[in-house]
Chain A
Amino acid sequence: MIAQIIFLLILATAVFLFSKNAGKIRRNILLGKDLDRSDNPAERWKIMTKVALGQSKMVKRPVAAVMHIFIYVGFVIINLEVLEIMIDGLFGSHRIFSKPLGSLYGLLIGSFEVLALLVLVSCVTFLARRNILKLKRFSGVEMKEWPKSDANYILFIEILLMTAFLTMNACDYKLQAMHFSHYIKAGSFPISSLIAPLLPSSGEALEMIERGCWWFHIVGILAFLNYLPYSKHFHIILAFPNVYYSKLTPKGQFTNMPTVTNEVKAMLDPSFTPPEATEPGRFGAKDATDLTWKNLMDSYTCTECGRCTSVCPANITGKLLSPRKIMMDTRDRITEVGNNIDKHGKDYTDDKTLLDNYITREELWACTTCNACTDACPVNIDPLNIITEMRRYIVMEESQAPASLNNMFGNVENNGAPWKYSSADRFNWADHE
């Protein structure tokens, strides 16, 4: 009974804290500007099923894709087992699903075990890729101490959880064979039966280890849940809505700013009256709050895998730009803005901005807008849109484009071409041959 009360308290605290912190992230995302992505629900469900649920964009890197699918399927399916653990924890039962499910239960527990082993193998491989093989994708200026540790913590925690799960089952397997206490014959243990010989033979000791692992496993899962909002691992939740709200137009198509359309129309036709005064705001983005909620959701969805940066032509050739850094900076800045609101109230502004304090102009001007980053992202994050919005701020609010680009603007404006040719000579090519 005491165990049940303790379990209930831990569970309630975990759920409460998680909701609070996830709510903060939601609040931070909604600090962004409006954007309508409610169109085409059918197509959105389709793309979410394919890209998020089906992980279709992961296959470009087969080794990572296979390992990732093991962990992903393992995570989703072993969570069915967590449901049983929750019920057992709350009602003091033991393997409550074993009776109603009958022989299916054995099959389920057996497949959980196989998955748990695959998760273990994958996590160990991933740790090796990061720390022994030191894959280039996992380093870079933005991969400072915290992002590197974060990645290792996640893998390490998963290894611990799976080890506890298998050890628990191994004890159960032995106890069942001994007909010890309430340990009824339930489940099949293809993996844990192999480690069973390593365990003590006394029933009491086994029960202690079994209970210990049970508690460690479930408390560990709840603790891990509460780690998510502080970690890149939050992608396991946001990947789905983020892909659902993907940009559906061609990648080459940039937004046409409606506020600009009104001004340009008024300039070309003095009799034009804009539909209604839209919010003044600024052109483009100087700070994270000038971005849309989708840009901010992108930033919290990023799991820092570095596929974007590894295909970025600017980054490959040694320029400062790294699309992953754009996303991490955006997330860190909007989190800072959110923390400021929590500490100092809604109207507080610090003297920092995303531009210059986080992202430098040199990074922004190195982008070739080639869309390699957006194509590479397995969860359809769009760093290019943030880069464009920040260029818009630099050009339209500050007039601080590089000098050669200002020359280009002048030529387009005066001659209708980026070079200083007379528009009267535009058709001379036809006479040249």
Chain B
Amino acid sequence: MNSINSGSDKRIIMEELNQDIPTTETIKSEIEDSKSEILVVPTMAQMAAEGKTPEILFWVGCAGSFDERAQKITRSICKILQHVGMSYAVLGTEESCTGDPAKRAGNEFLFQMQAMVNIDVLNGYAVKKIVTGCPHCFNTLKNEYPQLGGNYDVIHHTQLIQQLIDEGKLKTQDGESFKGKKITYHDACYLGRGNNVYEAPRAALEVLDAELVEMKRCKSNGLCCGAGGAQMFKEPEKGKREISDERIDDAIAIQANIVASACPFCMTMLRDGVKHHEKEDEIQVLDIAEITVKANGL
């Protein structure tokens, strides 16, 4: 996905609803990733062929697979898994949309079609535990798949990171220091209010040598980024302003240097908000996984 710096990321994503996209093109990362290890991403199919069962399945999600910015989050999560030596695998091309955007938009047929096909694949590999890179996938897999025959222990990647920190497997002394930086966490609706996950993302930030600040609207009062409920894939209704601009007001008010996010859709919206306010030089939007990777020098 070729996002340019001017203009809205969401608009580009919207345009891609209609376009056939050249897929072979290699895209340079905007932020230089430090490459201490070569990333090897195992798939469930490979593992199964070798007669192995990974401890956990990493459910990448559509944004994590296709959106250029979100791909960096995906690779960060893989780096973390590889670094701690956790046995994991992805579904690769066997993964398909969980059906979340269809369900929120009211298309229950399409949702359940997707769910049943995915459950077939997951149950085929006898998957027990899943970590997702997206709160929407997390919510759907965890809450809406069980009734349709898909019973898994589902966690979000921020919960995994918290767990790894608690176990002492992730330490922050080896990597980039966040000293003197003001970091604020933007609650993703489907983690926070949707599933009461407020502490895990914050726990991942608390280990940093940075100043953690809360926005005026946080935790259960957190303001949506504007992408949920399939808004990501449509024009917003007529109004005074974009929800993402309203949200970045909160970050500006506390003079945050970094807005930490835990959702690829929030990422797109928050970046649009930062661009709208022309604060690209002052405010960085980073996923908790990316921050963890930086802090650990992975």
Same complex for A and B? Answer: yes
CA A427 to CA B220, docked complex, whole Å: 35
Q: Is B6 in contact with chain A by the CB < 8 A criterion?
A: no
Cβ-defined partner of B105 (8 Å) among A252, A408, A419? A408
Q: Is A426 in contact with chain B by the CB < 8 A criterion?
A: yes
Question: Do A375 and B92 touch (CB < 8 A)?
Answer: no
Q: Is B97 in contact with chain A by the CB < 8 A criterion?
A: yes
Cβ-defined partner of A372 (8 Å) among B75, B99, B224? B224
Q: How far is the CB of A235 from chain B (nearest CB, A)?
A: 22
Q: How far is the CB of B128 from chain A (nearest CB, A)?
A: 21
Interface string of A72-108 (1 = CB under 8 A from B): 0000000000000000000000000000000000000
Interface string of A356-368 (1 = CB under 8 A from B): 0000001001111
Report chain A residues within 8 Å CB of B99.
412
Among A284, A321, A423, A429, which residue has the most Cβ atoms of chain B within 10 A? A429
Q: How far is the CB of B114 from chain A (nearest CB, A)?
A: 7
Report chain A residues within 8 Å CB of B64.
429
Among A251, A261, A425, which residue has the most Cβ atoms of chain B within 10 A? A251
Q: How far is the CB of A428 from chain B (nearest CB, A)?
A: 7
Question: Do A427 and B43 touch (CB < 8 A)?
Answer: yes
Report chain B residues within 8 Å CB of A316.
223, 243, 246
Q: Is A324 in contact with chain B by the CB < 8 A criterion?
A: no
Question: Do A264 and B221 touch (CB < 8 A)?
Answer: no
Q: Is B173 in contact with chain A by the CB < 8 A criterion?
A: no
Question: Do B27 and A432 touch (CB < 8 A)?
Answer: yes
Question: Do A409 and B102 touch (CB < 8 A)?
Answer: yes
Interface string of A395-433 (1 = CB under 8 A from B): 110000110110111011100111111111111111011
Question: Do A395 and B39 touch (CB < 8 A)?
Answer: no
Report chain A residues within 8 Å CB of B43.
427
Question: Do A419 and B17 touch (CB < 8 A)?
Answer: yes
Instruction: Using C-beta atoms within 8 Å of the partner chain, give the interface range for chain A.
Output: 35 or more
List which B216-242 residues lie within 8 A (CB) of chain A: 220-224, 226-242
List which B62-90 residues lie within 8 A (CB) of chain A: 62, 64-66, 71, 74-75, 78, 90
Interface string of A294-322 (1 = CB under 8 A from B): 00000000000000000101101111110
From B191-199, B254-262, B283-291, give the one contacting chain A.
Answer: B191-199
CA A423 to CA B139, docked complex, whole Å: 23
Q: How far is the CB of B99 from chain A (nearest CB, A)?
A: 7
Question: Do A317 and B242 touch (CB < 8 A)?
Answer: yes
List which A360-404 residues lie within 8 A (CB) of chain B: 362, 365-372, 374-375, 388, 390-396, 401-402, 404
Look across to chain B and name the residue whose beta carbon is closest to the beta carbon of A269.
B116
Residues A418 and B101 in contact in the complex (CB < 8 Å), given A250-B194, A251-B194, A429-B65: yes
CA A408 to CA B27, docked complex, whole Å: 24
Q: How far is the CB of A385 from chain B (nearest CB, A)?
A: 12
Chain A interfacial positions (CB closer than 8 Å to B): 60, 249-254, 256-257, 260-261, 263-265, 267-268, 283-284, 311, 313-314, 316-321, 362, 365-372, 374-375, 388, 390-396, 401-402, 404-405, 407-409, 411-413, 416-430, 432-433
Q: Which 6 A-B pairs have the closest CB atoms?
A: A252-B194, A318-B240, A391-B106, A369-B229, A416-B96, A370-B224
Chain B interfacial positions (CB closer than 8 Å to A): 13-14, 16-21, 23, 26-27, 29, 33, 35, 39, 41, 43, 60, 62, 64-66, 71, 74-75, 78, 90, 92-93, 95-97, 99, 101-110, 112-114, 116-117, 139, 142-144, 147-148, 189-190, 193-196, 220-224, 226-243, 245-246
